[in-house]
Chain A
Amino acid sequence: METKMTIGAADDAALASGAASGDERAFKEIVSKHKAAVYSTALRITGSAADADEVAQDVFVKVYFSLRKFEARSSLATWIYRIAVNAALDRSRKNKKRPATAGEAFREDMVCPSDASSPPNPAGSAADAEDVRRLLLSLDEKYRAPLVLREYEGMKYDEISRVLGISVGQVKIRIFRAREEIRNNIGACRTAMKDTGIKAPQSEDTKAKS
C-alpha cells in the first residue's frame, strides 16, 4: 500500500515556503493535496464524520497560521499528519466516546463481526465500515493511532515513528498490541453472544450464500 500523503514529496517544501510567504494558491494546493488523508485519519481515530470534519478544519487553520514555524526538519506531510493525529486524539478524549477501555469485556454497543475469518466484501459496505470503526474505537488510543496510520494510510514503521514521536520499536509493539486487542475483543464478543444466545450479524456475502 502506498502512503496516502506521499511523505517526503520534494515539491512540498516549495509549497510550504510559498504558503508561508502569503501565496494563497500554494496554501490551497497544500489543502487540496492533504485534506483527504487528514479527514480519513481523523475519522478513523474519532469514529465520527462530524468530528473528523471539524478536526480537519482545525488542522488546516493551524497549518495556515503555523507554516512560518515549519522548519522542514520533517516533511510537510509528516508535520501535517502529526497535527492531525494530535487534534483527532484530543477530540476523541474530549468526547469520551470509547465504548470500552483496553481489555474490557464485551459490551452491548460493541461490534461483533459476523466472521472475522471470512473474506472481506471487495466493495466494502457502509455497514462493514461502521463495524470496523467501532472496532477501532474499542482500542486504547495509544494503539489506535499507529494502527490507523499503518492499515489505512499505508505508512512504514519509520514514518509512523516520526509522526507519533516514538521509536520504531514502540511502533512495532503498539501495532501488535492493537491487533491483539482487536483479536481479544472479537473473541470476548463472540463468547458473550454465544452465552446469551444472540446470533452475530451476518454479512451480506454470508446472507447471499445461505
Chain B
Amino acid sequence: MKCEKWRIMLSVAEDSELDGRDSAVLAAHVAECRDCREFADSLRAIRAELSKDSEPLAPPEFFETRLAGRIASEKSRRAS
C-alpha cells in the first residue's frame, strides 16, 4: 500500500514511541505528502472517537464477596 511505512510511523508517533531522528524524517515526509497528512488527521479522529469510552470502569458490587465464594468452592473441589 502506498506510504504504508510512513503510516505505521505516524501511528507510532501518535503513541509517542517514535525516536527523535525518525520523527524528523517523518515530519519531512508528511510536509510533502498530502495523503499522509490526511491519514494523520484520521488517526487523531479515531483516537478522539475511542476516547469517548474513557470513563473509569469498576466491577459490579460484591465482586470480592463473590470471589471469596468461588475460591472457597474451588478449594473444596480440589480437596475432595
| Partner of A156 from B17, B41, B45, B52 at Cβ < 8 Å | B17
Cβ of A132 and Cβ of B50 under 8 Å apart? yes
Give the distance to chain A from B40, nearest Cβ to Cβ, in Å: 11
Determine whether A120 belongs to the interface, using a CB cutoff of 8 Å to chain B.
yes
Residue of B nearest to A60 (CB): B67
Determine whether B21 belongs to the interface, using a CB cutoff of 8 Å to chain A.
no
Q: Using an 8 Å CB-CB cutoff, how does the interface string of B20-43 with A read, 1 for contact, 0 for none?
A: 000000000000000000000111
Stretch at the interface among A9-17, A73-81, A176-184: A176-184
By secondary structure, the B interface counts as helix
Determine whether A121 belongs to the interface, using a CB cutoff of 8 Å to chain B.
yes
| Partner of B46 from A35, A121, A182 at Cβ < 8 Å | A182
Cβ of B57 and Cβ of A64 under 8 Å apart? no
Given contacts A124-B54, A180-B7, contact A57 B66 (CB under 8 A): yes
On chain A, which size bracket covers the interface? 35 or more
Bound form: Cα–Cα A186–B47 in Å: 13
Residue of A nearest to B49 (CB): A116
| Partner of A116 from B48, B66, B71 at Cβ < 8 Å | B48
Give the distance to chain B from A166, nearest Cβ to Cβ, in Å: 15
Bound form: Cα–Cα A61–B73 in Å: 10
Q: Which of B1-17 contact A (CB under 8 A)?
A: 7-8, 11-12, 15, 17
| Partner of A61 from B8, B57, B74 at Cβ < 8 Å | B74
A-B contact pairs, 11 of them (CB 8 A): A35-B59, A39-B59, A43-B57, A49-B60, A56-B63, A65-B78, A116-B42, A120-B54, A124-B54, A176-B7, A179-B11
Interface of B with A (CB < 8 Å)? 7-8, 11-12, 15, 17, 41-43, 45-60, 63-64, 66-67, 70-71, 74, 78
Interface of A with B (CB < 8 Å)? 28, 31-32, 35-36, 39-40, 43-44, 49, 52-53, 56-57, 60-61, 64-65, 113, 116-121, 124-125, 128-129, 131-133, 135-136, 147, 150-152, 156-157, 172-173, 175-176, 179-180, 182-183, 186
